[in-house]
Amino acid sequence: MNSRDGKVRVGIVGCGAIANAHVLAYLSSPHVELIGVFDSDGARAEAFAAKHGTTAYPTLQALIDLAPDLVSVATPPGSHTQLTLALLAAGCSVLLEKPPTINLADMDILLAAESESAGSVYVVFQHRHGSGARRAHSLLASGALGVPQVAVCETLWFRPDSYFLPDWRGNWAGEGGGPTLGHGIHQIDLLLHLMGDWDTIDAKASRIARPIEFEDVSMAIVTFANGALGSVVTSLLSPRETSRIRIDTTGGTLEVEHLYGYSDSDWSWFPAPEEVAAASNGRDPGMATTTHGNSDIGDAANPWAVSAGTDVQSNHAAQIHHLIDDLVAGRPHETTLSSTRPTMEFVTALYASSLERASIRRSDLTPDRGFYHRLDGGLDADVVGRRLSVH
């Protein structure tokens, strides 16, 4: 990182909806110099640059010629690979929006290019970066919350037919995959970040109601390397929307429920009955003594309560500020491209399991399989259609 005067020189490629979250996070960091933006829609880039007090450049190369340290890529998923390759070739680091790529083949092309470049690739998965997930990750990794045994991961959202009116939505060519790739991936990434390696997936993806080429609902059963079992549901047919992860460990239940971002108050820890009883001097082990959220065993005996600190919401600002602080301090940033490969493997295996009607292990996702290259496996459209049918 060639930061000058202690500032990271940042560019943004793609000036659409989510670029607003990037630019506001960068502009609120004292360690960033925003040097310019590029969008293939020049008028959009000009308007965005004028709004945020920066310069619009007419080509990607013109932005690269300024030698930015870091460039956010906030364009549609199908364009991520080519743009990131061009930036890596020039030695720039990249903050790539989710999903990083639309298949494992492209992800491995980027990983190979990254290994040859002075730059690094980071991926936006902002839900790893709120204080709740950071506490959960650290406590689970240390064993302070016990051993995970059961997990539930739900992305129950609602998108009407009209959501799919833009040409690029609702089809494999435009989106690369369905809501499991585009929407559920946030909770799936956080689940895997907290639970660790997974082994096998048994899944069903179905098109129940929406006029689209892929699923509007998927359900998967996943086995984790530590022997835990989990269920993962992604739906666009759920009017009362919620995003939820629940992890039952030998020590208690850890849970977060939110929609598009959480605060500390959206997390709860419910100690297992034996621990509650022991901590409150000899009550019956099975006696329930807690209500949702916080235990009455007292903060000193409650690892979750003890870990509380500043409440950081899970949003783009949380991740971008962590990234900039890490770059300025010369520390590694945790949400690397390679750290997100298990998430892309999970999504790939979910489609493979559903469309091949088989259990899929991580080790099955090899380059000789169609699913490594395309999430529909390269199967004929009518075969995919039949296999997505609920009947």
Report the residue from 29, 94, 97, 322 that binds ligand NAD according to the rule CB under 6 A: 97
Number of residues that bind ligand NAD (CB under 6 A): 22
**CA pair distance 303, 294, nearest whole angstrom:** 11
DSSP 102: S
For the bound state, the minimum distance from the C-beta of residue 126 to ligand NAD, rounded and expressed in Å, comes to: 6
**Complex with ligand NAD: residue 58 or 160, whichever CB lies closer:** 58
Minimum Å gap between C-beta 71 and ligand NAD is 11
Q: Which of 15, 56, 217, 360 binds ligand NAD (CB under 6 A)?
A: 15
Q: Does 148 bind ligand NAD (CB under 6 A)?
A: no
CB of 124 to ligand NAD, least distance (A): 5
How many Cβ atoms are within 10 Å of 275's Cβ, its own excluded? 18
Torsion sign, CA atoms 70, 168, 241, 202: negative
Among 11, 14, 148, 230, binds ligand NAD (CB under 6 A): 14
State the Rg of the chain over Cα: 22
Nearest Cα to 82, choosing from 109, 50, 48, 118?
A: 109
- Which ranges of the chain does DSSP label H, i.e. alpha helix? 19-27, 42-52, 60-64, 80-89, 104-116, 131-142, 172-175, 179-182, 185-195, 273-279, 303-306, 316-329, 341-356, 370-373, 381-388
Task: Indicate the SS3 state at residue 18.
Answer: coil
Nearest-approach distance from CB 342 to ligand NAD, in angstroms: 18
Partners of 268 in the β-ladder: 255
Site string for ligand NAD, 58-77 (x = CB under 6 A): ----------------xxxx
DSSP conformation letters of 256-284: EEESS---GGGEEEEE-HHHHHHHTTS--
Which one of 22, 98, 128, 387 is in contact with ligand NAD (CB under 6 A)? 98
Nearer to ligand NAD, 18 or 278 (CB): 18
CB of residue 127 vs ligand NAD: minimum separation in angstroms?
9
Cα–Cα–Cα angle for 317, 319, 322, rounded to 5 degrees: 105
Amino acid letter, residue 45: A
Q: Which of 3, 24, 40, 263 binds ligand NAD (CB under 6 A)?
A: 40
Which of 2, 41, 160, 298 is in the footprint of ligand NAD by CB under 6 A? Answer: 41
Q: At what angle do helices 19-27 and 42-52 cross, to 10 degrees?
A: 30
Which token pair is 366?
């090899």
Does 175 contact ligand NAD by CB under 6 A? no
Shortest distance, CB of residue 41 to ligand NAD, whole angstroms?
A: 4
Q: Return the percent helix, strand and coil in the chain, to nearest 5.
A: 40, 25, 40
Between 82 and 138, whose beta carbon lies closer to ligand NAD? Answer: 82
**x/- map, 120-139, ligand NAD, by CB under 6 A:** ----x-x-------------
Residue 79 in the binding site for ligand NAD (CB under 6 A): yes
Interface with ligand NAD in residues 17-36 (CB under 6 A): 17-19
Core vs surface per residue 166-198: b (16+ CB within 10 A) or e: eeeebebeebbbbbbbbbbbbbbbbbbbbbeeb
Only one of the segments 10-18, 102-110, 277-285, 288-296 lies at the binding site for ligand NAD (rule: CB under 6 A); that segment is 10-18
Q: Which residues make Cβ contacts (< 8 Å) with residue 30, sequence separation at least 6?
A: none
DSSP 8-state secondary structure symbol assigned to residue 93: E
The piece of 37-45, 87-95, 103-111, 359-367 that touches ligand NAD (CB under 6 A) is 37-45
In angstroms, what is the minimal distance from the CB of 20 to ligand NAD? 8
Task: By CB under 6 A, name the one of 35, 39, 151, 215 that touches ligand NAD.
Answer: 39
20 vs 231, which CB is nearer to ligand NAD? 20
Residue ranges that bind ligand NAD, judged by CB under 6 A: 13-19, 38-41, 44, 74-77, 79, 83, 97-98, 124, 126
